[in-house]
Amino acid sequence: MSLSNPWAAFPLVAGLISLVTGVWVFLRYREAPVYRYFLAFCLLMAAGNLGNTLALLSPDREGHLLWVKVGWLFYMAALGAYAQFTFAVPRPRVPLSGSDHPWARRLPRAMLRLDRRILETPRLPLLLFYLPAAATLFLWMLPEDLWLLTVREVFFGHVAIFKSTWANLPWIVLVVIGLTYGGSNIFAGYLNFPEKRRVTRFLFLLSEVTLVYLVLFFISPLFSLRFHGLLIFLTYLGTAGVALFFALAVVKYGLLVSPVDEARSPHEPKYALTRGDCFLVQEEKPDFALRVFADLVTHGAQGLGLTRTSPPEIRAAHGLPRTPLVWVGRIAPAPDIQAVDYPEGLSLLVDEFLTSTPEGVILLDALEYLAEKHGSPLTLQLLYSLRETVAQRGGRLILSVNPRALPERELSLLQKEMKTLTE
């Protein structure tokens, strides 16, 4: 193996960036299982870049082809991790519809039909994304003359040119289907999280740009080998950029909220709330509700807090270092805290959370803020939606309200819909 090719530094550095990014995000959120998908995505991208680095450093044709095949196998496997990651982006389990969402009218009808089919068959997206890796492995096992056109010299080293016939056709079809779904899934999350539109819009655009890039990559040998070589070189740089952007999305914008377990308390539990019920706590400040919430979470339940109380204060006062606490408002009090300001977003978060942990417990102490900002009718619709979700999923909801801050009619409706919880 020769170390004389300076261009090999580009995929090597890109691989190291992907590796460090994935490990850093995982270590920061190791309790949340969904970030394992992000780590797997980064590790597979790093492995693919390492394979391309060794391919550029290989002086002979056989060594170059061996590492090219290894690199592409890892790249295709990374699509599977990408599928799992985008599938975890919060969205309603309702198919996209142009009549319900005006923006969805811009999507091709095929994408809307595929979105409905995939929601009806949850394992289908994973199958679609891991099939390219399986197809690639099968292709490498076939005789070389069936898939390899030639090995050419370009500005940064040798490049293996695949036959743009049946060998590339399965990749093109599967990548189009997979990335199209990934884009529509992110798009659905964008529609329901207005406060995250900047990052979800970019994620959607990134999926579609990747789709166009891969299609161009597979067909470019038909019209320009030099352009094909340039696309290969851009792959080295693009993989690191994708990893860094996903890291920004999950860390800064808090796209995902996942159930985690708190350290178990050595004391006996003080409160037992029946599953599938909602409980109303009337108090000026959310003190008793937080104590009940903390007691349940430290005795086996996984919790989600939707609060207007400072999350760092809750963690310090009640010993909840891991439990996800979401700030109900437009701007979070700290960069590492997720903020949700819309009732639709809160309803979606609860639905996704209780889908992941059916016995979970939800704390909501921001009803007065929601009623003041969005109006009582919309806030009551949110509570009706949460009540139905909790009953269907078997979770528990603790609602802390200040009775002096609500009109008598709204308070009466809450008392009718929920069980009253007192000290």
Strand partners, 363: 305, 398
Q: Are 203 and 167 in contact (CB under 8 A)?
A: no
CA distance 137 to 249: 32
pLDDT value of residue 68: 85
- Residue 83 CB burial class (10 angstroms; 0-12, 13-18, ≥19): buried
Q: Are 210 and 179 in contact (CB under 8 A)?
A: yes
For residue 159, give every residue at least 6 positions away whose Cβ sits within 8 Å of its Cβ, in sequence order, or none: 151, 152, 153, 225, 228, 229, 232
Name the helix (H) or strand (E) containing 152.
strand 148-154
Closest by CA to 71, choosing from 174, 162, 166, is: 162
pLDDT value of residue 294: 94
Strand partners, 157: 154
Q: Specify the residue for token string 């819009």.
A: 201
pLDDT value of residue 400: 94
pLDDT value of residue 274: 92
CA distance 225 to 227: 5
Q: How many CA atoms lie within 13 A of 117 on its CB side?
A: 12
Q: Are 184 and 115 in contact (CB under 8 A)?
A: yes
CA distance 195 to 363: 21
pLDDT value of residue 314: 92
SS3 369: helix
CA distance 251 to 234: 26
Listed as own residue / partner, the contacts of 284-287 with beta carbons closer than 8 Å and 24 or more positions apart are 284/402, 284/404, 285/402, 286/363, 286/365, 286/400
How distant is the alpha carbon of residue 65 from its chain centre? 34
Structure tokens at 150: 């030639």
pLDDT value of residue 88: 61
CA distance 214 to 179: 10
Strand partners, 340: 328
DSSP strands (E only) in 331-388: 339-340, 361-364
pLDDT block averages, 10 residues each, the chain of length 423: 72 86 76 70 89 86 85 82 66 55 58 65 66 77 76 71 59 59 56 54 64 72 74 74 67 62 87 92 92 93 92 90 86 74 78 80 92 86 89 92 87 89 85
CA distance 128 to 134: 10
SS3 66: helix
Taking the CA atoms of 361, 366, 367 and 373 in sequence, report the sign of the dihedral they define: negative
Name the helix (H) or strand (E) containing 108.
none
CA distance 39 to 269: 36
Q: DSSP letters along 239-263, please?
A: HHHHHHHHHHHHHHS-------PPP
pLDDT value of residue 365: 93
Q: Are 230 and 266 in contact (CB under 8 A)?
A: no
Taking the CA atoms of 126, 40, 53 and 61 in sequence, report the sign of the dihedral they define: negative
Domains of the chain (ranges, CATH numbers): 6-252 (1.20.1070), 277-420 (3.40.50.300)
Structure tokens at 83: 């599928």
Q: Are 229 and 155 in contact (CB under 8 A)?
A: yes
pTM of the model: 0.65
- State the amino acid at position 362 in one-letter form: I
For residue 290, give every residue at least 6 positions away whose Cβ sits within 8 Å of its Cβ, in sequence order, or none: 309, 314, 317, 318, 363, 365, 400
Q: Specify the residue for token string 């999507």.
A: 107
Distance, first Cα to last Cα, the chain: 74
Taking the CA atoms of 245, 249, 251 and 256 in sequence, report the sign of the dihedral they define: negative
